[in-house]
Structure 1
Amino acid sequence: MSGLLLQFGTSRFLQAHADLFLHEARMAGQDVPAVVIVQTSGSAARAGRLAAFSNPEGFPVRIRGLEDGQPVEREVQVKSVTRGLSTAADWPEIVSLFAEEADYILSNTGDSGYSVAPEEAGQGLDSSAPLPSFPGKLAQLLLARYRAGGRALTILPCELINRNGPVLKAIVTDLARGAGADAAFLAWLDTKVIFANTLVDRIVSEPLEPAGAVAEPYALWAIEEAPGLVPPCTHPSIVLAPDIEPYERLKLHILNLGHTVLADIWQREGRPAGETVRAILSDPAIAARLDALYRDEVVPGFAARGLGREAQAYVETTLSRFRNPFLDHRLSEIAGNHAVKIERRIAAFLAWAGTPAPTLQNIVSR
């Protein structure tokens, strides 16, 4: 396979997830694409991280936690990433790589990563300068690839958005139509570009400087099967499934929902500034509230959808992960983009489940 994977987003999450999987697959003898990481935000604070991606020695990922009840701690020097580029400084090179060399696109651009500024609608997709949003940049780059010969392409979005692939495809297509793209490009976009539907799951608690991360042992990358879709590698943590909605619902409405509920308690009840998930759950009263929420509101909602047993098992796994004695997952970080997370993790659960959930409804209604 070899080739190139362009990764949009410098997040520590992908360093300890897809980048690590690709490294381990290569170490196991697989022919996997090299990774070039693209910074889309232009943040000067991450300049050191970006430079570190070009270090041939790679970056460390530290896995810490419990596996089968036994403590695990290991460090892997990840060497799947060859360099880092920035859309602010390296746009012409990014256009060239995307148009002519990339076989896969990977993205993790945050909770608001698919937001498009109103002024982008109707703008042309000329690639001389990048548009502000990630979907805008992606539309520009896809048009450049089409004009360069239009080889097929697989896009693997990893944002925590329900049906992320179809959602991203719709946004990019709307931008292209608004920019007056011709029918041939729109047909190519629809038939030659795979916008995969994926779900990622791993708690990555803290960064290492200048690059690298600390993560739990548990990891999942669920990818929905689609005609022509071939993952960039095989790995024990990568699952191909005909329908990934059950994985999405379990992760979004149990693990992520639990995180957001705890962050809401932390914000509203004046908890300590540096408190972690593990620390807040060491308070018996808080632990009892979360247990009751899962038991009385969350699991019944899943049961109404035929996923009661799966939800109960995932709740037990999630609580064990929350109490990982080796990770310091700070609630101040989880509380970022809190309103967006309430909408996607809690309000979306209420709409999907349709069962009584007064505590969750109260959080949404505030």
Structure 2
Amino acid sequence: MQEVGIVHFGLGAFARAHLAAYNDAAMATGETGWMIAGVSLRSDRVARQLNPQAGLYTLTERSGEGQATRVIGSLREVLVKGRDCAKIVARLASPECHVVSFTVTEKGYCRDAVGGLDHAIAVESFYPLLTQGLGWRMAAGMPGLTLMSCDNLPENGRVLARLLGSWLERDNPALAAWVRENCTFPSTMVDRIVPATSDTDRATLAARLGVVDEGAVVTERFSQWVIEDSFAGQRPNWEAHGAEIVTDVAPYEAAKLRMLNGAHSLLAYAGLAAGHIFVHEAMRDERIRPLVEVLMRQEAAPTVTGLDGGFLSDYATQLIARFDNPALDHRLAQIAMDGSQKVPQRWLATLADARGHCIAILTGIAAWLLHIARGRHLDDPLAEELRDAISAGDVSAQLERLFGPRGLLKSGWVPGPEEVAFIAEQRRIVRTWGGE
């Protein structure tokens, strides 16, 4: 039986379409010892789906040209925080474990308003379990681990290192020092569009295969993974299966966050305002599609350093084709979740670095304000605070309460009078897209 070499926190569809798929490809060529133990932090839903199937599930890649399905066999088990804490710690402390990876979403890192660790909510995340596992390794004289974030955060490895260090320094400075000396935190850029699997997806798959897969994942054909070359020990040969191991991930991170994710958030808020459900529907809207092009090519791309203009132009063209994919029902409401955690790196970083008037991003902000005010699909850890911020006053006051030096998001971007006026006007226009 293959050993578990990776413990992964946050085993949603995204990780199963990406990390687990790369590991499955590595194991298919003869690499051993790289099974994954998944950890669910919030519910046992994925465990209920996959454990009765011995961790097996199907991955279906869809495009306008057709679809292809394969079985992924790199998952040993799904453990659930609260119920399986002892097993999780044992996996982390096992000599066979070399990598701990994370797709816990932006909010899973439990940052406060200025980017530090919010210790009060961190107790409910992965920090206590990771601390116990690392503590066992230190006490036993074992090697450190590669701790690898795969979430949409700029310099995600450094963010994880800083937040974990803050957690450890409070109660266990000796372990904090050991982690600094023995563990590594490579930054990564992970890119694959993975919609939530629907009941229709499962039913269609069952009719085609003759078997029900409760853990089925549907994704696009495209997949990209850029990883900083900083590992504490062994790892799978991911680069043999398409991953890129580089010295500096930052340019790729910036391109993805500002171009892909920035355009996605624009599509989400503007598309929902216009009554659309899926990304490919919003892309067919002649009011929205040109804004997506402008955001990527004219606003975001010029702020990305370290990648040449030809690469960024080709990347934008590729993104348009991916967004247009009619075979992938990527719900706008899924992208719109957790806006307070996403907007700073997706839009505000571009605005802070841009030269000139960013009409597409400012329109996106107008749509986001409308999205907060309407309350539909508002799924955000700061939902009440967002509503309070825009509950009174004109748009100028609302923007100050959101983005000002003492605002909710405390960004480095300060809108000028012309930008405030433009956002106010665009909010009025976007409101009419829904028939108001």
TM-score after normalising by structure 1: 0.86
Counterpart residue number, 2:151 = 159
Q: 1:193 aligns with which of 183, 187, 191?
A: 183
Q: How far apart are 1:180 and its partner, in Å?
A: 4.1
* 8 A Cα contact 2:228 2:246, kept in partner: yes
Q: Which has the higher helix share?
A: 2
Please tell me whether residue 38 in structure 1 is matched to residue 39 in structure 2: yes
Counterpart residue number, 2:73 = 79
Q: 1:257 aligns with which of 254, 262, 265?
A: 262
Counterpart residue number, 1:126 = none
Consecutive unaligned residues in structure 2, runs of 5 or more: 203-212, 366-398, 400-422, 424-436
Which stretch shows the higher mean deviation, 242-251 or 285-294? 285-294
TM-score after normalising by structure 2: 0.73
1:1-366 equivalences in 2 (<5 Å)? 3-41=4-42, 43-49=43-49, 52-53=50-51, 55-56=53-54, 58-65=56-63, 71-101=65-95, 102-115=97-110, 121=119, 131-182=123-174, 185-207=175-197, 210-226=214-230, 228=232, 230-234=234-238, 235-267=240-272, 269-272=273-276, 275-302=277-304, 307-353=308-354, 355-361=356-362, 363-364=364-365, 365=399
Q: How many residues align?
A: 347
Consecutive unaligned residues in structure 1, runs of 5 or more: 124-129
% identical aligned pairs: 25
* 8 A Cα contact 1:136 1:172, kept in partner: no
1:134-186 per-position Cα deviation (integer Å, ceiling 9, x unaligned): 2343233322322233322111211111111111111111111111423xx33
* 8 A Cα contact 2:23 2:74, kept in partner: yes
Which stretch shows the higher mean deviation, 163-172 or 29-38? 29-38
Closer/same/farther in 2, CA of residues 32 and 21 from structure 1, 3 Å limit: farther
Q: How far apart are 1:192 and its partner, in Å?
A: 0.9
| RMSD of aligned alpha carbons | 2.7
Which amino acid in 2 is paired with 1:223?
A: I
* Distance (whole Å) between structure 1 residues aligned to residue 44 and residue 34 of structure 2: 28
Which amino acid in 1 is paired with 2:34?
A: P
* 8 A Cα contact 1:115 1:133, kept in partner: yes
SS in 2 for 1:112: helix
Which amino acid in 1 is paired with 2:288?
A: I
Closer/same/farther in 2, CA of residues 187 and 358 from structure 1, 3 Å limit: same
Closer/same/farther in 2, CA of residues 289 and 121 from structure 1, 3 Å limit: closer
* 8 A Cα contact 2:31 2:236, kept in partner: no
Which amino acid in 1 is paired with 2:77?
A: R
* 8 A Cα contact 2:299 2:354, kept in partner: no
Q: Which has the higher strand share?
A: 1
Larger Rg: 2
